[in-house]
């Protein structure tokens, strides 16, 4: 009876295991790229661009008032209403769908749909009579030119409103809100999800100095390589498994919540992938592969965070983290901590903090900051 991964699977997966020496090289290269991105003369050719966020200060917990947040980063987007008072927050959260025909045509179609949903949210929650500062989480490549202004570099995640590239999403959102009418909304800030996560966590923990999204960007294409070498499934795959990106990140999460006694989720995933030739050894092997990929992803995330923590030199310091991988994959946090304990300077005290509705709440807090600044200027 098989009770461990096939030695051939272990051998092939060795290329995905990062040694301490590998991670030191990654850390050194990452730091060098950051320095290039920060320097004016090397910024144009830098791989890591280090775009400025225009967030000049973090929240102190004294922010007060009613704010909206719009979180746009995928085919579903969120609208939040947040009440801040005495260091506490009350939040209403609604998720809206962005149909395919709304994200691949024109900027007017896209932002008019967003404004329509925003209007519905405001009416549903009886907010028509309030002046509401809004923070806009925009999780796409953006060069900011002010706290409330930026230029779209390109679309990702299936979005393709070509006329919006090079334009300011805040301006397009404001114009759509004006066209719709019936809303007292003032767009005060635009941030990406990492910045929103940092701000949200800093509101709760003043030591927070770093935000990180560990989302669904895992590449699982090496499974096909294992199949081709007849190590998995007797060399008999399925059309779905051979399709690029068909093996979704959620499958890794499900498989790693399994037990090696029953492999309930492994069997379910293989069924969804139309794999009909899996044996018990394949169950162990697939679990092992997912575990290796998980550890590699956590290690890469950890070494990036460790490098920035060492560069900042704050102690104690908190890193705010969000994203489905960090939230849902068993052992991801522990693996990150294990790597960071080896690479963060010994005189620096650090911790990782899960952001709760981070980017949305953070955008509202950024709007609160922008609102306060404008009110007192």
Tokens matching residue 107: 């900027």
Nearest to 80 by CA among 141, 127, 144: 127
User: Which of the following is catalytic: 81, 89, 107, 139?
Assistant: 139
User: Which of the following is catalytic: 71, 78, 107, 295?
Assistant: 78
Compute the distance between CA of residue 147 and CA of residue 138 in angstroms, rounded to an integer. 12
CB 253 within 8 A of CB 36: no
Q: What are the φ and ψ backbone dihedral angles of 376, each rounded to 5 degrees?
A: -100, -5
* DSSP single-letter state for residue 106: -
Indicate if 78 belongs to the active site.
yes
Q: Is the peptide bond before 301 cis (omega within 30 degrees of 0)?
A: no
Say what the alpha-carbon torsion angle 156, 43, 200, 78 is, to the nearest 10 degrees.
Answer: -20
Indicate if 22 belongs to the active site.
no
Q: Please state, in angstroms and as integers, the Cα–Cα distance from residue 178 to each residue in 22, 173, 186, 227, following that order.
A: 53, 9, 10, 55
User: 76-85 and 65-72 as β-strands: parallel, antiparallel, unpaired?
Assistant: antiparallel
Nearest to 136 by CA among 88, 174, 83, 93: 174
Q: What are the φ and ψ backbone dihedral angles of 157, each rounded to 5 degrees?
A: 60, 30
User: Which of the following is catalytic: 71, 148, 193, 258?
Assistant: 193
CB 161 within 8 A of CB 105: yes
CB 232 within 8 A of CB 288: no
Indicate if 139 belongs to the active site.
yes
Secondary structure of residue 82 in the 3-state scheme: strand
Place of tokens 């908190």: 318
Catalytic positions, written as ranges:
78, 139, 193
């Amino acid at each position: 009876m098989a009770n461990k991964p096939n030695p051939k699977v272990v051998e092939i997966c060795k290329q995905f295991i990062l040694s301490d020496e590998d991670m030191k090289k990654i850390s050194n290269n990452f730091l060098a790229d950051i320095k290039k991105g920060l320097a004016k003369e090397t910024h144009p050719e830098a791989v890591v661009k280090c775009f400025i966020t225009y967030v000049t200060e973090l929240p102190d917990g004294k922010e007060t008032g009613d704010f909206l947040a719009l979180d746009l980063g995928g085919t579903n987007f969120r609208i939040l209403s947040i009440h801040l008072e005495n260091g506490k927050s009350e939040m209403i959260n609604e998720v809206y769908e962005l149909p395919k025909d709304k994200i691949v045509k024109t900027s007017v179609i896209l932002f008019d749909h967003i404004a329509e949903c925003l209007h519905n949210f405001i009416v549903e929650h009886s907010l028509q009579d309030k002046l509401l500062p809004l923070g806009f989480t925009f999780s796409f490549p953006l060069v900011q030119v002010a706290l409330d202004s930026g230029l779209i570099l390109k679309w990702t995640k299936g979005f393709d409103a070509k006329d919006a590239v090079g334009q300011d999403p805040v301006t397009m959102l404001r114009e759509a809100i004006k066209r719709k009418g019936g809303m007292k909304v003032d767009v005060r800030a635009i941030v990406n999800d990492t910045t929103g996560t940092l701000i949200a966590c800093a509101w709760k923990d003043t030591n927070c100095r770093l935000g990180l999204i560990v989302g669904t960007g895992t590449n699982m294409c090496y499974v096909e390589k294992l199949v081709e070498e007849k190590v998995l499934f007797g060399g008999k795959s399925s059309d779905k498994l051979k399709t690029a990106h068909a093996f979704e990140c959620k499958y890794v999460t499900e498989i790693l919540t399994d037990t090696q006694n029953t492999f309930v989720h492994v069997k379910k995933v293989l069924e969804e992938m139309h794999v009909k030739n899996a044996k018990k050894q394949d169950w162990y092997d697939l679990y092992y592969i997912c575990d290796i990929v998980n550890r590699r992803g956590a290690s890469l995330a950890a070494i990036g965070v460790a490098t920035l923590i060492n560069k900042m030199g704050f102690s104690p310091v908190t890193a705010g983290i969000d994203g489905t991988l960090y939230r849902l994959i068993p052992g991801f946090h522990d693996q990150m901590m294990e790597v960071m304990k080896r690479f963060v300077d010994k005189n620096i005290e650090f911790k990782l903090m899960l952001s709760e509705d981070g980017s949305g709440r953070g955008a509202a807090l950024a709007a609160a900051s922008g609102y306060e600044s404008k009110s007192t200027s």
